[in-house]
Structure 1
């Protein structure tokens, strides 16, 4: 699971720095595997300003540029990029700088008889993309002589954590922030998601058809947003997706990817103009196949759950969408889906077809069922903000399952299982900050488990939650009992002779 520090801070108030965040993550059981700090790696690269660009006297494809680097006299740099020109703000590397991609240390050089004191860099040379056709072009207001990384948003460290299979709630940035807030390094920002009133009935209905077989989906919700303009998503969203290795596609698709990583709420969008009739959620049928968004054709069978219209299968439920109803730049009406799927069936389907998607990864581990509708409302808000349009009422099939698990929890279990002697008030506060509902006085509490924690089943799980947040460092060191004295020799005569 990857996220940037600024992304996390959107959900976690306070002024905790990078070290505090990473140390706390590991302490509460979300082990930090890597921290990518490109600002530090690129600190030697600064903003330059080409004052003059003339053709090299001995080479038609080279130019001799005079570059202002913010101090001293302009430097002469020989450059072969076709877009190098007078007035351009560029990324400059002085002699002695190590180029990230090649590992080459720059030195003062002479190119075709002309001295060159540095280098003007492309995004590929900086490890920021594959573009090698020209040098990077920075905004006109970029301050000359200053580090360039903050100018393009590279001063935001990216943190990668290991999430164990029992913690699907931490496959979203919001869930990670909740754990850190419980560890008291900031406060959780959890604003109420306001429902959007539908302006008209949704023209596309949805229904289940599993016959006598076991249903593979408990709940499916859908809404139409008409009159959208599907272009690029905002720069901040594209930047966040790029930071974690996701490729921005268009605003509608980017919203679904953002919701997947921000809230652990995978969604899907259909181009409404390409959907024929209503949507039917059912088991697949032998002989059916569909072209998926990854460009591959998959054959389905009756063990798999699909979403179909009058034309046939349009999506492999909870795993991957179909290309036939995918959204593109011409999409003007979009159907937004938010559903719940059977985790075991999702895992079996993905394994059978060898499809590894971010949606599958989350659905097979478990998503918060209570967030299915709020997630649809939040996604609708983002679509309206980025693309405009008008939202319909929500149509749905099935019902959101409720897990009304209340655990009778003796406070003494913390002492018995973990050796921590804590006051009931501290235990209640810790569980409360993690989202548990706690009541009771004295040694016995009643604890209601939140919908996003499918891993909590009994008293021992609650003890584990308290200990990982309070900290193992507070568990007192206790020597093992000495027991009886060391017994005498047990070697036989032959063994002693062999020794």
Structure 2
């Protein structure tokens, strides 16, 4: 909700500064998200009138203007050279006098000083300004034309009320009554005690008898429908400058006078309304739920398909409007409109909530109606709109018709003073509670220790005792709450030594030169199908954006998205990781406090590495990161536990450069290079390396056990074994080490001749391995060593056909 401070102070003007007002609103629950001035700082810019405008003698695009600046033109009109296409005699525009300072063109730049200048041989004593040069808007097509009654010589800041501040509030859904300037003023009045100015809205006397029949067929959709015909309006009339200015300061662009009036009253009193072109309505209006097969072309140009879950306004021939959301194109007002129908209704919040998001757009009207709009003000606000229409566009009004099929009934809510004191955490009296309710305009009755409130029509958020307690706390002031220690005992949960925390995993990855990234749990369906191999992901019923439509079952898609984001910004090297929850269908999962039936939600840790293996340096040549670099990172992450890596397949990874990670024989995830087809599909310059592991397994670690220092010295023996290229290193090492005396087996060389030889045939290679043998109790003799080595070779021969080279 954005609004100018000056408009708020017309309704309630407390004796506090702008900063104090912002602090007051924020501490009362109406968070002020942004404060910014209407215009930047500038000086010595006044209202002036061009009295003459002649062609420059030496330039086709310049004019020599004679400008009257009132008291600033003591010696007659000032001579100004101007290149604006609309510079002509008879208009009033902003004039920057000599010595004026205009806002800098770029943020952080110096102000632009106006001096006496000479343009193509003609002197210029100032500068005529556009709206963009004053940074009032982006319009730079010509001079900013002011009303002809603007006082000559008046400071432009004073005339345009530029010493104003724009407030932007971040309102929670329960504060629907603050979605208007008057509603916020009502809160300020309650918080400060300053008087609230409620302008009297005089009814417009009907001049014609015309009415439009309305049939409300769905009382669960519409509780009240009011309307009025106005004939003979002039839609080509200009929207007054004061209204255009206020709409702009509320973030709303002026469209046409009839639309602007409707938007103005919405910002003023929080009442969305709609103005139909009466001559385009066939017969009467029906307010009902849509029927399957019906469609509607909206004001935004989209055509939507309707069903029985969406409310509509229809005439005798077609659907004309989405109830409480947006009008239809067929009955929209235009420059040819002569007769209009003004509608203001109360739509039940549950009948409007979520409907616009089904069609992937949102409107100010829907935003308000789905939170609740005062049903009592429909007729009064039609009178306000009618008065503005007649003031700006003319016309003759008919009587107001008011249909009330189902007005909301508000149940009384009880407030116990003792309960309020206990929840708030400080003593409060019945008199204090009564004073708060009175300031807020909430009618109540009271007995000993108890107050009963009947919520007013504009407060849809008050249904429970806790709602009233919150009102008492925020009006008394959250800053008045005492610092009270919690009464509940705090018992620390001791984590087992064999399990490190999630932050420990984060620190370990950060130490490996990875940076953490945090992404949405809902992702593009394409990522799930392509990178996770999940053809049936869990769909989001109400996605915040159309692409983010499903829940992720893998973190890899999110990391590829992060890579693309960084590459678009020319990042030379990307190493990122994420700890996050994934979501998979699992019928065995029951519903508990921490789970949802049918959905498994395990935690995963995933990483991505792309670009050079190390930052640019002199110590080693630059090379791209490869599979073994990431494998080493995963090994260091899991240390001191030792993982096995076996060839595997994964939907996201290269079929020949992918491994399954095993801990104690149990699979905990995968690592590998992104599949070539996905590298091409996602338009990546080269393939990144990826891993994804089960977080619970990564958190497990071995508890260190004390071992005595060996009293004996290890014996080392080197072997050169010839094996087939198909023999896996891990399997060969495990076979050789299958003896208590063999403590370690280390591969230190691989030899593959260019052509088959007598020792090494085709499809074979020689592996040089070092065996470390040790007996903790006795010194190894040559006989035991030779026997253990021979046994190891025999095991390798039996398992893989290995033979000693040479």
Shorter-chain TM band: 0.7 to 0.9
The corresponding residue for 2:312 is 306
1:115 Cα deviation from its structure 2 partner: 6.5
Distance 1:64-1:327 versus aligned 2 partners, 3 A rule: closer
The corresponding residue for 2:437 is 431
1:171 Cα deviation from its structure 2 partner: 0.5
The aligned length equals 495
The corresponding residue for 2:249 is 243
Distance 1:130-1:209 versus aligned 2 partners, 3 A rule: same
Does the CA-based 8 Å contact 1:16-1:186 persist in structure 2? Answer: no
1:47 Cα deviation from its structure 2 partner: 4.3
Distance 1:407-1:142 versus aligned 2 partners, 3 A rule: closer
1:221 matched to 2:226: yes
Does the CA-based 8 Å contact 1:101-1:126 persist in structure 2? Answer: no
Distance 1:481-1:44 versus aligned 2 partners, 3 A rule: farther
1:41 matched to 2:41: yes
Distance 1:140 1:224 in 2: 34
The more displaced of 111-120 and 174-183 is 111-120
SS at match of 2:222: coil
Distance 1:78 1:383 in 2: 41
The corresponding residue for 1:92 is 96
1:457 matched to 2:463: yes
Summarize the alignment of residues 22-61 of structure 1 with structure 2, pairs less than 5 Å apart: 22-43=22-43, 45-47=45-47, 56=56, 58-61=58-61
Summarize the alignment of residues 132-147 of structure 1 with structure 2, pairs less than 5 Å apart: 132-138=140-146, 146-147=154-155
The corresponding residue for 2:325 is 319
The more displaced of 104-113 and 23-32 is 104-113
Distance 1:183-1:484 versus aligned 2 partners, 3 A rule: closer
The corresponding residue for 2:21 is 21
The corresponding residue for 2:346 is 340
Distance 1:482 1:220 in 2: 52
Does the CA-based 8 Å contact 1:102-1:125 persist in structure 2? Answer: no
Does the CA-based 8 Å contact 2:39-2:134 persist in structure 1? Answer: no
1:146 Cα deviation from its structure 2 partner: 5.0
Distance 1:119-1:413 versus aligned 2 partners, 3 A rule: same
Distance 2:391 2:122 in 1: 53
Distance 1:93-1:192 versus aligned 2 partners, 3 A rule: closer
The corresponding residue for 1:262 is 268
Distance 2:407 2:301 in 1: 34
Does the CA-based 8 Å contact 1:47-1:92 persist in structure 2? Answer: no
Distance 2:491 2:282 in 1: 82
Distance 1:270 1:143 in 2: 39
Does the CA-based 8 Å contact 1:101-1:124 persist in structure 2? Answer: no
Distance 1:304 1:425 in 2: 47
Calculate the aligned-residue CA RMSD, in Å. 3.7
Distance 1:146-1:39 versus aligned 2 partners, 3 A rule: farther
1:274 matched to 2:280: yes
The corresponding residue for 1:165 is 173
The corresponding residue for 2:83 is 80
Any stretches of 5+ residues in structure 2 without a counterpart? Answer: 499-702, 707-806
The more displaced of 415-424 and 226-235 is 226-235
The corresponding residue for 1:293 is 299
1:118 Cα deviation from its structure 2 partner: 5.3
Does the CA-based 8 Å contact 1:8-1:173 persist in structure 2? Answer: yes
Distance 2:163 2:2 in 1: 16
Larger Rg: 2
Summarize the alignment of residues 361-440 of structure 1 with structure 2, pairs less than 5 Å apart: 361-440=367-446
Distance 1:400-1:187 versus aligned 2 partners, 3 A rule: farther
Distance 2:220 2:289 in 1: 9
Distance 1:491-1:269 versus aligned 2 partners, 3 A rule: closer
Does the CA-based 8 Å contact 1:4-1:243 persist in structure 2? Answer: yes
Distance 1:255-1:77 versus aligned 2 partners, 3 A rule: closer
1:260 Cα deviation from its structure 2 partner: 1.4
1:279 Cα deviation from its structure 2 partner: 0.6
Does the CA-based 8 Å contact 2:222-2:406 persist in structure 1? Answer: no
1:394 Cα deviation from its structure 2 partner: 3.2
Distance 1:476-1:67 versus aligned 2 partners, 3 A rule: same
One of 170, 183, 186 as aligned partner of 1:178 = 186
Does the CA-based 8 Å contact 1:66-1:76 persist in structure 2? Answer: yes
Does the CA-based 8 Å contact 2:39-2:135 persist in structure 1? Answer: no
1:437 Cα deviation from its structure 2 partner: 0.9
Does the CA-based 8 Å contact 1:221-1:396 persist in structure 2? Answer: yes
Does the CA-based 8 Å contact 1:282-1:305 persist in structure 2? Answer: yes
Distance 1:193-1:119 versus aligned 2 partners, 3 A rule: closer
1:125 Cα deviation from its structure 2 partner: 2.6
Distance 1:484 1:349 in 2: 45
Distance 1:45 1:385 in 2: 32
The more displaced of 253-262 and 90-99 is 90-99
Q: Deviations over 1:218-246 (max 9, x none)?
A: 33222222333442343332221122122
